[in-house]
A and B are shown apart, each in its own frame.
Chain A
Amino acid sequence: MIKKLMGCIRENKRNTILTPLFMVGEVGLECILPMITAKLINAISHGADMADILRYGAILVLMAIGSMSCGILAGWFAASASAGFARNLRHDLFAKVQSFSFANIDKFSTSSLVTRLTTDVTNVQNAFMMIIRIAVRSPLMLVFAVIMSVNMGGPIALVFLLVIPILAFGLIYIAKRAMPLFKAVFKKYDRLNNSVQENVKGMRVVKSFVREDYEQKKFGAASEDVRNDFTKAEKLLALNNPLMLLAMYICMILIPLFSAKVIISSAGLEMEVGDLSSLITYAMQILMSLMMLSMIFVMITLSGEAARRIVEVLDTEPGLKNPPQPVTEVPDGSIDFENVSFKYNPEAAAYALAEVNLHIKAGQTVGILGGTGSSKTTLIQLISRLYDTTEGVVRVGGVDVRDYDMEVLRNQVAVVLQKNVLFSGTIKENLRWGDPNASDEEMIRVCKLVQAHEFIMAHEEGYDRNIEQGGANVSGGQKQRICIARALLKKPKILILDDSTSAVDTRTDALIRKALREQIPDTTKLIIAQRVASVQDADLILVMDNGRVVAQGTHEELLASNEIYREVYTSQTKGGEDDA
């Protein structure tokens, strides 16, 4: 995991290495400072000889400037390194998701991917900066300060031998006990947020059923849950400070005691007053670094979860790969299914699609009909190799789809998805997804074909009109037509419409089908629809039920032979006939 994350440092290597280097400088100077101040104090206590004081003063100021410069540079590089590291992480994550197959996308929910790319990365970024700054600084400080105090106080430094273990064990004990508590708190927090979100989203339901009081009770319980767990965790952490103070005060009592003895007994030969205050400064430095160490220990462990989730995405192998020597040309728009079976999950017992055999000639129009859950969408997704079959072969233009270069295949097999989206940007920009170099004339041509030109031009900005995120400012039927136009700009050999005109009125629907038939006769067209009217003039109609193609034929044939088809047909046309 760590290796994987380290791989994202890349061009920030220089900054990542410079940070701890300057940190060493800062810490080193910071640790020598008290020694010089000791000299300064001693000089004062000797009767305040101006020359000495100015000399030590000058050294001190220089060192302070040096330490400050190192500190500023370390902070500077650390900021660049961590922000750059986070950028690479996000870049890699995003690129990885782009390489995902449909099966991969199904595995991660949208919101979990968003969290991974934002909050999780920020957490790891903070941990990273901690590691290159504080995790270097604190142990170094600890070591330097111990060395300096031994050097200065000699046996008095043995006090630290007493104090450091007490503090270290105490802090580790608290951190270890606190960690699971905090993890529990985070989970409860998630649950709390989730319940608020449900409430806000479902406010109309809450109010309709007059469930305000019920919701308050529910929320109150969740909120108290968080409160209890959090209080428990914080009460435990409340031991941290007293422990720290205890250690500090032990130093503050013992060091002056021993120092006083040494100084007075040796008449200031072995040690002087200045050394006493420096020893105390070192004591503080040592204890502070221990405190920081325990803090980053907790923080880094907590961010481990975020790191794990990031690496989970980075480690995901794209489900589909290009063959070594891909076919780069789709000869024609014929489609063949040979004994095709498919399931989304290899462990699933039932097939989503079973034993499908189909032969569609180039240029044919094929209608697909069937109830919810009859796997119509599953069937067409195999054609442009959005998923790989579990058994059997799908061929396009006589070639196994697995032998094609995926980009070539998908450019020739255009799918208009059922759950389609437009992206924020102008209509033009959205259309150019189909062909980045499409001319205005071409765009107008396809928009006319799908009966979209008129409503686009009805708006004063025309093709430059901005589409809001998710296409919120166009109606469902208009969105569907722009989506079809976008797919047509690819000039595909096969066009698949997955219930793509469900929000379009029947007349426009008919006009679109007519235009498709007349203007792109060579393109194979597959149309999934709810309305019999949308498919009844197709060359071939497939009736699907429960993952199987239960019947295929023309409208007349099916009307004569297929029960389901007849039922759907009569239920949809009955009203009209009554009045006719």
Chain B
Amino acid sequence: MPKPQMPKGERPKAPKGTMLRIIKLLMEDYKWPFLLAMLCMAVYSVGNISPSVFIKKISEIILNFTAGASWEEARPEVISVLVGMVALLVATIVFNYLYARLMAVITQGFLDKMRKRMFNKMQRLPIKYFDANGHGDIMSHYTNDIDTLRMLISQSLPRLIQSGIMLVGMLGIMLYYSVNLMAVVLVGVFGMTFAVKHIGGRSAANFIRQQRSLGQVEGFVEELMNGQKVVKVFCHEEASARDFDKVNDQLCEDATKATRFANILGPVMNNIGNMLYVLIAIAGCVFITLETPNISLSGLINGNLGAALELAVVISFLNIAKQFTGQVNGVAQQFNSIVMALAGADRIFRLMDESAEADEGYVTLVNAEERADGSLVEADRRTGVWAWRHPHKADGTVTYERLRGDVRMYNVDFSYVEGKKVLEDVTLWAKPGQKIAFVGATGAGKTTITNLINRFYDIEDGKIRYDGINITKIKKPDLRRSLGVVLQDVNLFTGTVMDNIRYGKLDATDEACIRAAKLANAHDFITRLPQGYDTMLTANGASLSQGQRQLLSIARAAVADPPVMILDEATSSIDTRTEALVQRGMDALMKGRTVFVIAHRLSTVRNADAILVLDHGRIIERGTHADLIAQKGTYYRLYTGAFELE
């Protein structure tokens, strides 16, 4: 249960709308349980106020009987009041328990549903979202924001509703007994609201400042801890400690202020309540001595409106006032957490309102069988032959096109940010089984091209054809299934080595996974791991070297066995000797496949069927290694080391 935080000091933009939306969702999921819980709460809230009524009655009895009467005479009356009280209080306890159990189920169930809603939505978001939003920010939706929501649902919201009910109930009681004294209570409440506004407001402002400094400390610590070894070799320990003290002192200052105001609120509210107590006592007595007519609902009902105030009324008012201020105090204490919860909910809703990745494709990938005459028919089992199932809307027919891995781009333009072209007029073709290499500086657009082929991003202008089909017509999942991708930054998942290889094809047998590992040259090191293929990997495979992780990710792609492979700097962290071995495995893997390779070391692309040299989003040279060396252009200069590959 992470501490609730308010990242970036945001406040909710439309608090009312957010609140309504939370309640609406809550109603969708748990309408009856929630209403039942609220009913239970209403019952026990009424039960909670009732003691003051009973106490008033007993006080009356006592006052009536003190003058010379005996306990035996008074006993039946006292007992009858208490029996009523016992009944009501037992009910209160039962309902309170029911309420708490219901809320446990509702809160956790609702949070579970919200998490899943958020996660499922997130799975449908385009890569663009993940590129544009920091991972830490996305993570905090699942930790901080969900936690503030938990506080809201399980504490603040019920507390607010309960206090509302109780305050109204107590107002009713006060109205019933004495409007005059009620006016006095309201004066006190006015004082309390004033205090909340001043102290609470300052507390919230300082709280936000504290969160900001905390973020700064976190950022500083993270950067320095990451570079701790550099700090050591430069003997920079003292200087870093000094720099840290600066942000640390700032945080201390802001934390002190924030906590101060939060700490002060309690005693101030409490004692305003105490003073109100005195005020009521004095006012009550003044009313009695001056025989001011008491305006009350009971007077209206009993027809003695304007009679003098009774002592017992004053006494019970003291108790009511205490409870009343207690409730106001309780609401005030929720102030911070409600503001924070709404801000958190706002961020959650913003994620849920992101527009999902659009997919208008209708061409799907199916298993197929070849008939004697060479035509394809759909099969319902794995045949090893794949075909594009292409329904034609115009005449309602369906045609099948064999999956071959022929990728062509015609005059493609693309930009991530409007107006800043990353690719311009790119035309390329990869015939089935060809190896196409991209060479160029960082930012030349190599990775962008591969992002367009699997439609992580959509092109701005031009055409991309896959086996002759416009790729926007192909359903995205089917398109991506037909492409294997190995990236420079390897991401492994918590699980065994075997699980991680199997990620490429969930129904792959152990043998198939091992075969893939052998192909990628990963088998050797895996068998040397403590538990071989059953070794658990955690924290993105932290126990493995970067090179080993790359080998695993190649094995993962190999087990998927796609007709087209994209290798984006897939061997950058493998030393040259191992790379040569992997290369051999890769060549085996690539046989019969169309492969796009992005490589830092030119030695790995030498045997490509075509090498494309990119510069500022344009293809400036194209040809085989021998062609390009003969051209003595950019590639030649790169290859001979006269140019920097950055």
Contact = CB atoms under 8 A, between A and B. Distances in A.
A9 B219 CA distance: 25
Nearest to A125: B255
B644 A419 contact: no
Given A207-B127, A264-B65, 9 more contacts: A57-B278, A60-B278, A64-B275, A75-B267, A84-B252, A98-B231, A109-B539, A119-B3, A576-B639
Interface string A386-419: 1000000000000000000011001100110101
A143 interface: no
B487 A194 contact: no
A417 B227 CA distance: 10
Contacts of A54: 282
A241 B264 contact: no
B509 interface: no
A68 B267 contact: yes
A216 B225 contact: no
B230 A420 contact: yes
Q: Which of A109, A196, A384 has the most chain B CB atoms closer than 10 A to its own CB?
A: A196
B107 A234 contact: yes
A575 B603 contact: yes
Contact of B222 (A98, A114, A568): A114
A533 B641 CA distance: 11
Given A64-B275, A71-B267, A245 B96 contact: yes
Contacts of B237: 98-99
Contacts of B545: 372-373
Closest 8 CB pairs of A and B: A71-B267, A75-B263, A506-B641, A202-B491, A238-B100, A505-B644, A234-B104, A79-B259
B42 to A, nearest CB: 16
A3 interface: no
A570 B603 CA distance: 12
B214 A118 contact: yes
Nearest to B247: A90
A62 to B, nearest CB: 10
Contacts of B122: 199-200
Given A87-B248, A214-B506, A67 B271 contact: yes
A406 B233 CA distance: 10
B289 A50 contact: yes
Contact of B480 (A94, A210, A507): A210
A86 to B, nearest CB: 7
B96 A241 contact: yes
Interface stretch (B86-94, B371-379, B431-439): B86-94
B365 to A, nearest CB: 10
Chain A interface category by residue count: 35 or more
A249 interface: yes
Contact of A200 (B139, B289, B640): B139
Given A57-B281, A372-B575, A421-B227, A264 B494 contact: no
Interface in A452-508: 469-470, 475-478, 486, 490, 503-508
Interface in B37-69: 51, 54-55, 58-59, 61-63, 65-69
Contacts of B506: 214
A231 interface: yes
Interface in A62-87: 63-65, 67-68, 70-72, 74-76, 78-80, 82-84, 86-87
A186 interface: yes
A150 interface: no
B285 interface: yes
Contacts, number: 447
Interface in A6-25: none
Contacts of A241: 96-97, 100
A60 B274 contact: yes
A198 B542 CA distance: 13
Interface residues of B, number: 165
7 contacts: A94-B241, A105-B228, A205-B485, A209-B503, A253-B85, A259-B62, A410-B234
Contacts of B263: 74-76, 78-79, 133
A249 B89 contact: yes
Interface core residue of B2, B154, B222, B553 (most chain A CB under 10 Å): B222
B256 A83 contact: yes
A506 to B, nearest CB: 3
A190 B643 CA distance: 48
B86 A372 contact: no
Interface string B269-297: 01100110110011011101100000000
Nearest to B73: A264
B124 interface: yes
B205 interface: no
A204 B233 contact: no
A273 B62 contact: yes
Contacts of B107: 234
Contact of B93 (A48, A63, A70, A246): A246
B646 A113 contact: no
Contacts of B235: 406-407, 410-411
Interface string B474-517: 00010011011101000111100000000110100000000000
B268 A71 contact: yes
A91 B245 contact: yes
Contacts of A65: 271
B480 A209 contact: yes
Contacts of A213: 123
A369 to B, nearest CB: 10
A189 B263 CA distance: 30
A113 B214 CA distance: 15
B96 A423 contact: no
B494 A216 contact: no
Contacts of A79: 255-260, 262-263
B248 A114 contact: no
Nearest to B138: A200
Interface stretch (B311-319, B330-338, B585-593, B611-619): B311-319
A560 interface: no
B298 interface: no
Nearest to A104: B228
A378 interface: no
Nearest to B226: A110
A243 to B, nearest CB: 9
Most buried by B among A48, A109, A125: A48
Contacts of B55: 252, 256, 276-277, 280
B225 to A, nearest CB: 5
Contacts of B392: none
Interface stretch (A217-225, A323-331, A335-343): A217-225
Contacts of B266: 71, 75
Contacts of B360: none
Nearest to B234: A433
B574 interface: yes
B645 interface: yes
A352 B567 CA distance: 33
Given A198-B494, A253-B89, A209 B82 contact: no
Interface string A240-274: 11100110010011001101110111011000011
A91 to B, nearest CB: 6
A77 B316 CA distance: 37
B116 A193 contact: no
A95 interface: yes
Nearest to A374: B575
Contact of A194 (B111, B494, B578): B494
Contacts of A98: 231, 237-238, 240-241
B278 A40 contact: yes
